[in-house]
């Protein structure tokens, strides 16, 4: 396994919105935001090809990146602010004061850009030097928690990596994607770029008809008082990363069609109803879930066939709500789904059918009633993070992240680093395979080898 190359820090600085461009603002957390208080920051990395030396990066690219980021923060100012967690029974809120800023680190790496931005297994620790530091917890003494940090690392004459760490409490994937696209547009088009739809910060559009805010706040204060705040506490799991590798697997549209036809054939053969929702997302998640369960099974000595296994995922809320929320809304507007199946069934010959039925049924239930069982969102998450057998899905293939162009073309590779400590997989639309989905995961080397064998062997078997 190749060793990581040292990073040379070129500059630590801060970027703010233009002076006096944003008034002091406080945004109360909604019930959609509060559950994310329990999570460590998201840590996406965007790799871009960049055939220029460090001198060009410093003299030309860096000033443009700083200026465009400042203009973007003028419109997405909560990310430049802080999370304010007042003493109990106060309600956490996002606060922005003139002069608030985002920490920006500029660095240079002598590492192998092409290898890091590839799909093959690489040691997970090679990526952490590309991720900016951001506090993960609110102490009793310090109530203000920064929400965003950025690190831009140049690989001379090869590439650039834009690494970010942001607290999900401020933005869901849709909101953060809008932030990234806006920054990229200002960077590539200059001050002439005009935002078509300005972010909406109106919290009144979020209607708490199920009185979830009180339930979630109670959970927050209970766990905060016991210092058990972050469900996927990264620091607690760093020691277990030494043997872990990161890899990406692509499920193409032809693969999905094979999986779908196989599921239909098996259901007809067994004379059982078809799964009610066989979308690309469901087909991909079902296949990956079964491969992961079989991978984990090989290393788990004590197991029980009748134990339930869960696959947790995020469901977009804007199209599922019975009240209107603008697409430009800045904040969280997602629900939580948890598909359930027995391990014995997932391990069986028809495991993918079982998984597809469980996931598809959960998706359709969320379509019909996204808040059904919502009072258990936080406790369900705790169950998912508490067991190696359960799987969490991060990201969405619907966001077109690869179209984020800073003027250097489409991203070459996108990685989500936070999955290392979350026992999660990440989903992104495929860069090179039309209609495909990239699946990112981090596993111990022996398990990754087993997963790769199951993944490739499973697709061949469907032929």
Cα separation, 297 vs 7, whole angstroms: 38
pLDDT of res. 82: 96
Residue 446's domain comprises 237-461
Domain end call among 171, 198, 232: 232
Say if residue 422's pLDDT is above 80.
no
- State pLDDT tens for residues 250-268: 999 999 999 999 999 999 9
Say if residue 242's pLDDT is above 90.
no
* Pair (203, 246) in one structural domain: no
Cα separation, 448 vs 293, whole angstroms: 12
* Pair (202, 166) in one structural domain: yes
Task: For the chain, give the percent of residues with pLDDT over 70.
Answer: 91
* Pair (180, 259) in one structural domain: no
* Pair (139, 156) in one structural domain: yes
Residue 120 lies in a domain: yes
Q: Which residue has the higher pLDDT, 272 or 106?
A: 106
Q: Which residue has the higher pLDDT, 72 or 274?
A: 72
Mean pLDDT (the chain, rounded):
90
pLDDT of res. 136: 63
* Pair (263, 213) in one structural domain: no
* Pair (206, 257) in one structural domain: no
* Pair (186, 199) in one structural domain: yes
- State pLDDT tens for residues 135-167: 765 554 557 899 999 999 999 999 999 999 999
Mean pLDDT along residues 88-110:
93
Give the residue numbers marked as catalytic. 168, 405
pLDDT of res. 227: 55
pLDDT of res. 230: 47
CATH number of 441's domain: 3.30.559.10
Total number of domains constituting the chain: 2
Cα separation, 187 vs 450, whole angstroms: 43
Cα separation, 353 vs 348, whole angstroms: 10
* Pair (155, 14) in one structural domain: yes
**pLDDT confidence tier of residue 232, bands split at 50, 70 and 90:** very low
Burial of 270 (0-12, 13-18, 19+ CB in 10 A): exposed
C-beta atoms surrounding 388 within 10 Å:
9
* Pair (247, 208) in one structural domain: no
**pLDDT confidence tier of residue 231, bands split at 50, 70 and 90:** very low
Say if residue 235's pLDDT is above 70.
no
Residue 1 lies in a domain: no
Domain end call among 208, 232, 256: 232
């Amino acid at each position: 396994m190749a060793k990581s190359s040292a990073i040379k820090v070129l500059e630590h600085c801060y970027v703010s919105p233009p002076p006096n461009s944003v008034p002091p603002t406080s945004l109360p957390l909604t019930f959609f935001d509060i559950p994310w208080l329990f999570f460590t920051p998201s840590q996406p990395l965007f790799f871009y090809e960049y055939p220029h030396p460090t001198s060009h990066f410093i003299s030309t690219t860096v000033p443009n990146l700083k200026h465009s980021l400042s203009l973007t923060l003028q419109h997405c100012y909560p990310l430049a602010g802080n999370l304010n967690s007042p003493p109990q029974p106060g309600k956490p809120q996002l606060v922005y004061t003139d002069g608030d800023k985002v920490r920006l680190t500029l660095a240079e790496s002598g590492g192998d850009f092409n290898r890091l931005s590839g799909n093959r297994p690489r040691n997970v620790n090679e990526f952490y030097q590309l991720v900016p530091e951001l506090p993960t917890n609110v102490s009793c003494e310090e109530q203000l928690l920064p929400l965003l940090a950025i690190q831009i690392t140049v690989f001379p004459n090869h590439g650039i990596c834009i690494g970010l760490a942001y607290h999900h409490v401020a933005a869901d994937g849709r909101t953060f994607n809008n932030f990234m696209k806006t920054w990229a547009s200002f960077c590539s088009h200059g001050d002439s770029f005009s935002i078509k739809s300005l972010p909406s910060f109106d919290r009144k559009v979020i209607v708490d008809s199920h009185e979830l805010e009180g339930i979630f706040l109670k959970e927050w204060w209970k766990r905060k008082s016991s210092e058990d705040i972050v469900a996927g506490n990264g620091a607690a799991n760093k020691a277990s990363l030494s043997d872990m590798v990161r890899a990406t697997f692509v499920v193409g549209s032809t693969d999905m069609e094979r999986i779908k036809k196989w599921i239909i054939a098996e259901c007809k053969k067994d004379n059982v109803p078809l799964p009610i929702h066989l979308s690309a997302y469901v087909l991909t998640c079902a296949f990956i879930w079964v491969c992961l369960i079989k991978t984990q099974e090989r290393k788990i000595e004590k197991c029980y066939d009748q134990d339930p296994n869960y696959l947790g995922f995020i469901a977009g809320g804007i199209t599922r709500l019975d009240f209107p929320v603008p697409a430009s809304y800045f904040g969280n507007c997602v629900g939580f789904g948890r598909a359930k199946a027995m391990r014995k069934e997932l391990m069986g010959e028809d495991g993918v059918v079982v998984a597809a039925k469980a996931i598809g049924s959960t998706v359709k239930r969320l379509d019909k009633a996204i808040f059904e069982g919502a009072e258990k969102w936080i406790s369900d998450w705790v169950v998912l993070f508490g067991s190696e057998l359960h799987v969490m899905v991060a990201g969405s293939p619907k966001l077109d992240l690869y179209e984020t162009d800073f003027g250097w073309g489409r991203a070459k590779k996108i990685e989500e680093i936070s999955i290392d400590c979350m026992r999660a997989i990440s989903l992104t639309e495929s860069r090179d395979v039309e209609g495909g989905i990239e699946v990112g995961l981090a596993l111990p080397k022996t398990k990754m080898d087993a997963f790769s064998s199951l993944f490739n062997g499973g697709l061949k078997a469907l032929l």
